[in-house]
């Protein structure tokens, strides 16, 4: 059987959520279609070590730990040519929490390195990912700018807001993923349908308890909770947080301004988890529905669909950050499967794209607006 393999390069690779999803993806139609790791880069040392250990164990030299702003892309080219590019560029300036400075912030301009790589390497297709808030930063102008930059780089683009809990992922995690296919390639992409996953058990309980986490599982250390936190949690029911639960006055939080709904929020065991994050102080660690404690990193990894044999490197807090910043591997696999099926000319259940970039005239210059914002 003929084999068609796409060599994947990754910028802002993270611990390997996208990389693992790519490795697991496949399609078959006369020939077998697959994706293999070519090279990856990230600025965080522990993150790169995790990626090496799980994705490129036999090729550790293909993972470069460097600040992308100082990275010579020719070094990546020397490692390997690529057929595909993935970049989940930092989301800090597009997140719903924060100032949402968009492309004018510290991290927002980093998407331009993805555009630079597209122009230099000219891969056949790309996978770009960011938070749902990217659509609204700077009143939508940041997203317009990004979409236009990607099309100007020579690609047909297919942006879509994926609600991963609708794809069998046990977590309410909403992310914008943009698939791009080079203009000279006739292949068209369709967003995979949620229909095949409608009967999946996406409850937090099922994810964490079925099967039970082995006693010797790594990255499964418990957080030492203070007596005050334990006492506060006793008054918080499943699905409640520190602000909507009936908590004695001496245990209530003295917080001015916005009351973030995820502070000391317990999971509802019968629903998908709320979004697992990679940073934040006390009360943001995701809390068990019954036991008076925060989840372990292994439990968080389960909510992100990382298998138990996927080992994270670094301190407990570093691992928490890596897990929270990652793309769920099973979610990535579903999208990569659709990309491979598109190239293999395989019909698969598809749904209507919910973000439609349309070219319009704005101050006599091309401008992108986005329809179907949710």
Catalytic residues: 91
Residues recorded for the chain? 374
Alpha-carbon distance 148 to 355, whole Å?
Answer: 14
What is residue 374's three-state secondary structure? Answer: coil
Question: For 223, how many CA atoms within 13 A lie in the half-sphere containing its CB?
Answer: 26
Query: With the C-alpha atoms ordered 209, 210, 215, 217, is the resulting torsion angle positive or negative?
Result: negative
Of the candidates 289, 323, 40, which has an alpha carbon nearest to the alpha carbon of residue 173?
A: 323
**Sign of the dihedral defined by the CA atoms of residues 342, 38, 42, 85, in that order:** negative
Identify each DSSP E strand in 183-259 by its residue range.
191-192
- Alpha helix segments (H runs only) across 86-170: 111-121, 141-152
Return all residues near 160 (Cβ < 8 A) that are at least 6 apart: 176, 177, 178, 179, 191, 353, 354, 355
Q: Which of 194, 176, 188, 184 lies closest to 87 in space, CA to CA?
A: 176
Helix (H, G, I), strand (E, B) or coil at 348: coil
CB 182 within 8 A of CB 157: no
Alpha carbon 48 to chain centroid, angstroms? 16
- Say how far apart CA 14 and CA 17 lie, in whole Å: 7
Neighbours of 255 (CB within 10 A): 12
Asked if 271 and 171 count as a contact pair (C-beta separation under 8 A), the reply is no
């Amino acid at each position: 059987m003929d084999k068609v393999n796409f060599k994947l390069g990754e910028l802002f690779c993270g611990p390997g959520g996208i990389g693992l999803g790519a490795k697991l993806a496949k399609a078959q139609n006369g020939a077998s279609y697959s994706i293999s790791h070519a090279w990856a880069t990230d600025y965080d040392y522990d993150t790169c070590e995790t990626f090496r250990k799980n994705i490129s164990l036999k090729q550790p030299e293909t993972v470069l730990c460097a600040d992308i702003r100082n990275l010579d892309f020719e070094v990546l080219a020397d490692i390997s040519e690529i057929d595909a590019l993935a970049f989940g560029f930092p989301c800090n300036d597009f997140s719903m929490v924060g100032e949402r400075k968009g492309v004018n912030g510290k991290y927002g301009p980093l998407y331009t390195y993805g555009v630079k790589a597209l122009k230099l390497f000219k891969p056949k297709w790309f996978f770009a990912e960011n938070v749902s808030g990217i659509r609204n930063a700077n009143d939508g102008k940041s997203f317009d700018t990004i979409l236009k930059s990607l099309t100007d780089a020579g690609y047909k683009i297919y942006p879509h807001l994926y609600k991963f809990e609708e794809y069998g992922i046990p977590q309410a995690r909403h992310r914008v993923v943009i698939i791009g296919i080079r203009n000279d390639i006739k292949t068209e992409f369709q967003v995979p349908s949620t229909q095949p996953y409608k009967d999946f058990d996406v409850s937090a309980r099922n994810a964490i308890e079925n099967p039970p986490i082995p006693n010797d599982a790594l990255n499964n250390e418990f957080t030492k909770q203070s007596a005050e936190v334990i006492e506060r949690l006793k008054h918080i029911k499943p699905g409640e947080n520190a602000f909507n639960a009936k908590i004695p006055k001496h245990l209530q939080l003295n917080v001015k301004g916005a009351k973030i709904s995820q502070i000391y929020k317990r999971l509802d065991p019968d629903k998908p988890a709320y979004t697992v994050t990679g940073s934040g102080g006390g009360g943001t660690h995701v809390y068990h529905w019954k036991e008076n404690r925060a989840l372990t990193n292994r439990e968080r990894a389960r909510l992100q669909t990382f298998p138990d044999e996927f080992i994270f490197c670094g301190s407990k807090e570093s691992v928490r950050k890596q897990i929270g910043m990652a793309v769920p591997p099973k979610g990535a696999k579903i999208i990569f499967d659709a990309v491979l099926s598109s190239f293999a000319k395989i019909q698969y259940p598809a749904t209507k794209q919910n973000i439609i970039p349309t070219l319009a005239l704005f101050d006599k210059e091309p401008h992108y607006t986005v329809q179907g914002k949710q």
